[in-house]
């Protein structure tokens, strides 16, 4: 098969994987629900096309994502099963999480503080594991937090998408100078291109906490307005938007 990620691959084969349907699309990849025909196991299959795989910088980031994810053995990190390249198409096969991302939960409105703390405590635990290895995630946002209640009696969280994860990073941009990440949840030092460490992820997690409790991120508007908010405006108070228990 030729490598065109823009087309829907549903019903086709990519190596040992039968592609069953689309889970989601991003600007640079498509996430499919697929079946590993060797094991009869359903997986989430992230695929990029030939045109991006031919770009050395993007290919390096994609391979780094696979290696960073596979190096982290943690209950709250999506397990990686396999990665490779076939006919110019690069792919990563990982656990298929039967649930929803945190962004979709937030879209339904503010969440209870008790539930938020239960979920984000698991995210923080996963990030601690990264930071102890000298890694920084750099893209902590609701869409990269997967929530499922199918695996245990309580809601279980997985942190996903390690495509920007770096060791000893500075504010991450492409070689052409384009910002990598989500400005909506980016720390000031990330936006400025300064050295980054675990505190960069902690800032992003605090923004996610705000979004969970209020129903939206701390700074809204177009990208310049959001960036200005992170760089120059005092963070808004959650309690001014929604009532909180005295203990919080």
Residue of 50, 53, 52, 11 lying closest to 34 (CA atoms): 11
Domain match, 43 and 106 both: no
Residues spanned by the domain of 229:
100-240
Catalytic one among 8, 82, 128, 139? 139
Domain at 193, CATH number: 1.10.510.10
220-231: average pLDDT = 95
pTM of the model: 0.86
Domain match, 89 and 105 both: no
Domain match, 220 and 127 both: yes
Vertex 36, ends 8 and 95: CA angle to 5°?
85
pLDDT computed for residue 75 by the predictor: 95
Q: Is residue 139 within 8 Å of residue 127, measured between CB atoms?
A: no
pLDDT computed for residue 163 by the predictor: 72
Domain at 42, CATH number: 3.30.200.20
> Last residue of some domain: 49, 78, 95?
95
87 is catalytic: no
pLDDT computed for residue 169 by the predictor: 57
User: Per-residue confidence at 176, pLDDT binned at 50, 70, 90?
Assistant: very low
């Amino acid at each position: 098969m030729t490598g065109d990620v823009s087309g829907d691959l549903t019903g086709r084969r990519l190596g040992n994987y039968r592609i069953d349907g689309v889970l989601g699309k991003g600007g640079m990849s498509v996430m499919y629900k697929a079946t590993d025909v060797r094991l009869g196991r359903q997986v989430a299959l992230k695929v990029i096309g030939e045109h991006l795989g031919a770009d050395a910088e993007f290919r390096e980031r994609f391979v780094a994502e696979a290696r960073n994810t596979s190096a982290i053995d943690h209950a709250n990190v999506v397990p990686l099963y396999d990665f490779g390249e076939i006919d110019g198409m690069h792919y990563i096969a990982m656990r298929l999480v039967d649930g929803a991302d945190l962004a979709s939960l937030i879209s339904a409105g503010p969440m209870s503080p008790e539930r938020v703390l239960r979920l984000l405590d698991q995210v923080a635990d996963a990030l601690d594991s990264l930071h102890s290895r000298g890694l920084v995630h750099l893209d902590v946002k609701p869409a990269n937090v997967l929530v499922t209640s199918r695996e245990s009696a309580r809601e279980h969280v997985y942190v996903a998408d390690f495509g920007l994860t770096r060791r000893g990073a500075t504010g991450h941009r492409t070689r052409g100078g384009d910002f990598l990440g989500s400005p909506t949840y980016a720390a000031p030092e990330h936006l400025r291109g300064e050295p980054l460490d675990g505190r960069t992820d902690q800032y992003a997690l605090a923004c996610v906490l705000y979004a969970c409790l209020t129903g939206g991120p701390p700074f809204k508007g177009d990208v310049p307005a959001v960036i200005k908010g992170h760089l120059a405006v005092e963070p808004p108070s959650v309690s001014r938007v929604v009532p909180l228990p005295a203990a919080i």
